[in-house]
Structure 1
Amino acid sequence: MIRGRERFLTQLYVLMDFLVIQLAFFSAWVLRFYILDEEVGGYLPLSDYFVWNIVYSIAYILVAFIVKLYMPKRKIRFASEVFKIFQAHLFGMFVLMSVLFTVKTIDISRVFLVIYFVIAIMMSLIYRYAVKQVLRKLRSSGYNKQFVLILGAGTIGQKYMTNLFNHPEYGLEVLGFLDDFREKNIQDKEKSYQILGKVADLEKILTEKIIDEVVIALPLTVFTKYQKIIFICEKAGVRVSIVPDFYDILPASPHFERFGELPLISVRNVPLDEFINRLVKRMFDIAFSLCAILLMSPVLIIVAIGVKVTSPGPIFFKQERVGLNRRSFMMYKFRSMKQMPESHSDTQWTVENDPRRTKFGTFIRKTSLDELPQFFNVLKGDMSVVGPRPERPFFVGQFKEEIPKYMLKHLVRPGITGWAQVCGLRGDTSIEDRIEHDIYYIENWTLLFDVKIVIKTVINGFVNKNAY
């Protein structure tokens, strides 16, 4: 068992990260100067490149500490670790480029830097994923266990126990419960859990048994006991976690922060509230939209001509939608309907065989080609490539009264495509189901999640059977 050696494991991770970056460096050197270019020495010697590699390695490790990549991650999903690895490499490269600019070193191969950066990220991800999977296998098999004592055998405590039972890869084993009102052992699926005594027996139990963590799962009615419990655990050098009695009204990932000297629980965690996350997403939006507009420019021209030729009126259709922070903006689309007063289009759903549509409009709506001008909305900053679909103010006012969580979708920029859409919730489908998917996206956003949604959008195709 590995117990009480977190500092050693952290040092081991730092060493492994350093060695992986060195391997990436030599791999990039061979690829750039021996495979892609046979004339070695056209730039700077290997020794000079290696010095800059050390700068990058140190910068990566420092940033990794800042983003808490070396924190214990037994209960953390690999997806969040992926984003931290990417952050560390991105800022590490930024530091390296800044140093190169400062010392006016211009002979470094840019192609080498790109190859080095990509290989370093790939190798870090592969080795971290492999380590995580090996550790999970070992924990599932009974190795590297950590033992948990739960205070409170009521609904909260049993819920926590069930979660541990469903996730053997965490390597956490419940030794038993302390409870003031229950004496019979708890039977759950294949195992029986002991009631080891009352809460007052905590200090005695901690001296008699090897316990790594104490989980407080007591009701708020006994909140006065919390301070003494925490004091006893910390005196014994045992970690303490609290499952709040009001967990059932909190979302999946509440966010903890500080306001002066006071700790606060933000009821809903929104990763895009963080500046660095917003910056990364905005950079992705701009780059992707520019590429999409350039690549799709022939299609844009053909559709524009088709709209103009097949029906009188403007090529583009502008409609007010509600976006980030409930602010309104004008969303662009290729016009697919006959000209009509705005009041008609702003308060009516499009239905099957809608007489307002043109023949060409029916085609571009079915194939989602009418949505292409929204890439210009993305460049303006009104929208994102990925996010909840924006709605008209009339229906927003209606839905917010009917669906309690509807307005949460406006915590982020609306998108051209979204998690709900790639899961089949497009057009005439359940608004409640769409909002649940939108909230899941908002609370679990990562850049990789955006990339996944874009890929699924392409794979699923642009034809929408529910688009009228």
Structure 2
Amino acid sequence: MTELRTPPRSEVPRTRRYHRLAPTTRKRPLLTRVNAVVVLLVVVDIVALLAAAQLAGTTSLETIEAGVALAGARVAGRVHRRRLWLSWLQDLPRSVAASGIAFVMISCLLIASAPSRSGLTSIQYLVIGFAVLSECGRAWVFAFGRWGRRRFRRCDRAIVVGAGASGGDLIRTMLRHPEFGLLPVGFVSSGADSETSRLPVEIVRDGLAEAIVRHGAGTVVLAHADERDSSVVDAAITAHRLGCLTLVLPRLFALCPDRGGVDRLRSYPLIRLAGSPTRRPSWLIKRVIETTLAAVTLVVLAPVIALCAAAVLLESGLPVIFRQVRVGVDGRTFVLYKLRSVRQDAADDSATRWSVAGDRRVGPVGRFLRRSSLDELPQLWNVVRGDMTLVGPRPERPVFVEEFSAVHDFYRNRHRVPTGLTGLAQVHGLRGDTSIADRARYDNYYIANWSLWLDVKIVILTVGELFCRRQR
């Protein structure tokens, strides 16, 4: 990228947004966030554990040990998850498997501590008794939950987004079967369909975000779209940002099997989308770790940065630090810092020139800094400030954000998380003058699949890129 001068602070826009995004937070009453069925399932497990402990005659320590093993196995198996389809028989294999895993764990510990012991111990009887008692209680909870949803309409308000045919079928199914816990309150059409006017819910015309806030909706169901998929993707992002549960009806839903992350609304499989990464507790861990690492690295590499700055000064004079406006999370702009690698010129084309490959203004020092990526080191200060993260989609200049967003449907969606010093696209060879569509796909894949381990993998691959420079 061309880097020619430091823009005055008056030229740096502070409030302009390049994409109209929904608010990031929304307060909902506590009762609408608490799922009664989930609470009852937890209570049933606690009561079953205590009752089984009394029947087995275990000590307090043995009861605690069994409780920890059972809780860990059942949490890992998502036995207490929020669900639409309250079917005890459907959930029985998962629940029994979780209890069985806890039984095996405890048995292995007993064998390791006393290999000569034979027969079942009291703590093993406790786990068996828990499995029997908890399943009896869970059957009652599922039956009570279905009755409560039908009788008292204790349903989550839902807005359906999609084409008229599939969206209308989903709405009518929700209304006929409230035992699945969804009450449709609005429909956002993604195409022209005359049938939408006959739906027994509000036809939303003022935007999904406004409808979610107006109706207090907690669930957004994405059906098939008649137009480009980008409109449905935008709806999913809006739902995530407002803290809604997002369910997707797959196009080939008749072939979609029941598996993890798939719920059922009668015969319709609905895939649960993961929420926005920035709303997870692990994102706070990412932020703390990256800020600490960036600050420590700045201190450790301060002599290296000083030597590079001195080389820039000798080659092309002041200033040695180049500042450029970039677009970050939610379309907000910030000032990005780099070591200057391009000699200054009378004309400043840094905001509009895409690449400086082959530019005669790049001297030997500049070429070395760019080839070694040492010119990027001052961006660690952007990480410390909170403008960027270590790992995330790379930030781009405002003029190119507008241009790429107009051409590539999903480019703007990459701005729903903070930008990064390195990213998944960059470690797959997408640097410099490479495909923008591929970059957008990699960036959106990163956001959809984000985890702390994915960040670690990207950092490892980045180090490999810097030292090995593999040819792709």
- What TM-score do the two structures reach when normalised by structure 1? 0.48
Greater RCO between the two (CA within 8 Å, min separation 6)?
2
